[in-house]
Amino acid sequence: MNPIVQLKNIAKEFHAVEIFRDISLDIQSGERFALLGPSGCGKSTLLRLIAGLDAPTNGELWIDGQAASLAGRILLPAHQRGLAMVFQDLALWPNLTVHQNVELGLAGTSLARVQRRERAESALSACRIAELGGRKPGELSGGQQQRVALARALTAEPKLLLLDEPFSSLDIANKSHLYAVIRRLCTDFHLTLIVVSHDPLEAAALCSHAAVLERGRIAEIGGLQALLRNPVSETLREFVAQLPVPTRKESGAPARSEESN
C-alpha cells in the first residue's frame, strides 16, 4: 500500500538560505507521526509544505499516491489534499460564535445551511464540547478553544490532520485531556495525524512514530519507543537523560509511549 504522505529529497530555501534538504520520509495511513526538533529547525516550514501552503524548493511530495509538489511547483492545491491543519495560534474569530467558527471549516463547500450546522454539531460532540456552540471564543478556557479549533478542522472530514504545536499554552492536565480526545478522534475517524512539536513527551503521548529534525536534516526516524530506547539525536538524547533513572532502566522509554497503538 502507498504511504499517505511521501517526501522524497525535499529541500526548502528562503531567499537562498537553506532551511533543510534531503528530507525523505513515508507516513502510512492511520499512523500518528511527530515531527520533532528544536525551535527554528524548520518543523513548521515542513508542515506547511505538506499542507500545500508553500512549495518545496526541490524534491517530491506525494499525497495518497498523487504528486502534490514536484521540483518547486505545487501540483495539488491545499484544498484538494484531503487535510486540515490546526495552527499554534488557533486562528479563531473572536466576534463569531463557536458554531460559526466551526462552520468556517466548511467554507467553499456547497452544503446547505442546515447540513453545515449538523456537521458542526457532530464535530463539536466528537471534541466533547457540544454544549458550547453558542459561546464566543473569549468566553472559553484555553483547552476549550483548542477543541473548537480541532472541531473546525474535523468538519471537512479530512484524511490527514496536521497540528502545529497547538498545545503550547495549556497546563499539563488540559494537555492530557486533549491528547486523549485526539487519539480517540484518530481511531474513530481513521485519521492520519502529523504533529509538530519540540517536546518528546508530547510526541510520546500522541504518536507512534517520529522524525527528529536537526540542523536541516533528519537526525533519526522510526517507531518512537525504539528511538527513545536508543536515542541518537541531541533532542532525544537530552530528553532521555532527564528521565528519572528507574523509568529509564526498567522500560527504556517513558511509560506513556505508545508504539503499539
Ligand X SMILES: Nc1ncnc2c1ncn2[C@@H]1O[C@H](COP(=O)(O)OP(=O)(O)O)[C@@H](O)[C@H]1O
Query: Which residues of the chain form contacts with Mg ion (CB under 5 A)?
Result: 44
Q: For ligand X, what does the binding mask look like between residues 96 and 135, x meaning CB under 6 A? A: ----------------------------------------
Grid coordinates belonging to 108: 467553499
State the minimum distance, in angstroms, from the CB of residue 44 to ligand X.
3
Nearer to ligand X, 41 or 98 (CB): 41
Residue ranges of E strands in the chain: 5-14, 17-27, 32-36, 58-63, 66-70, 73-74, 83-86, 160-164, 192-197, 209-214, 217-223
Nearer to ligand X, 15 or 249 (CB): 15
**By CB under 6 A, residue 57 contacts ligand X:** no
Among 42, 56, 105, 158, binds ligand X (CB under 6 A): 42
158 touches, from ligand X, Mg ion, none (C-beta below 5 to 8 Å by class): none
Instruction: Find out whether 82 and 160 touch, Cβ atoms under 8 Å.
Output: yes
19 touches, from ligand X, Mg ion, none (C-beta below 5 to 8 Å by class): ligand X
Cα–Cα distance for residue pair 113/30, rounded to 1 Å = 31
Among 7, 23, 34, 45, binds ligand X (CB under 6 A): 45
Cα–Cα distance for residue pair 221/228, rounded to 1 Å = 11
Q: Residue 109's CB: how many other CB atoms inside 10 A?
A: 12
